Amino acid sequence: MRISAVRVAGVCAISAALALSATACGSADKKAACGKLQKTITDVSKKGMTQISDPNGLAETYSNGANQMRQQGKDSGDDKVEKAANDAATALENLGQQVKSIAGGGSTTPKMPDVAPLTNAGAELKSACDG
């Protein structure tokens, strides 16, 4: 049952991460950073799908992606993009930790991870990159 829960959690995480779709207008740095953020999100999503049965690997992928997103937000030169990237990165790391905890919990009825913070951060990032 644990693998099924992790599998479902992974799919939810990927769906939430895809909501972070970003298209940028504004300065060249902002456009470049938002493009890199989109690529990072896509790469993390793709890699995460291959790690559905490896919650530790999935948590590490999310953590590494979060670190990249923080740097890309900083590189944007835009306060809103940087804040949104940081918020999305934190939500992604937290989701990775939730997936790891669910998988290690041994429960036959594990709780679904809360993807709302990642979804909300995705909307914030999209707004910051569009604005």
| pLDDT, tens only, 72-82 | 999 999 999 99
Across the chain, mean pLDDT equals 81
| pLDDT, tens only, 37-77 | 989 988 998 898 898 888 889 899 999 999 999 999 999 99
> What is the reported pLDDT for 5?
55
Question: Which pTM does this prediction carry?
Answer: 0.80
Please give the share of the chain, as a percent, with pLDDT higher than 90.
Answer: 37
Tell me which of 103 and 127 has the higher pLDDT.
127
> What is the reported pLDDT for 7?
52
- Counting Cα atoms < 13 Å in the Cβ hemisphere of 35 gives 8
> What is the reported pLDDT for 13?
57
In one-letter notation, the amino acid at residue 84 is: A
Tell me which of 25 and 69 has the higher pLDDT.
69
Q: Where are the domains of the chain?
A: 2-130
Please spell the DSSP secondary structure of 63-102, one letter per residue.
Answer: HHHHHHHHHHHHHTT-HHHHHHHHHHHHHHHHHHHHHHHH
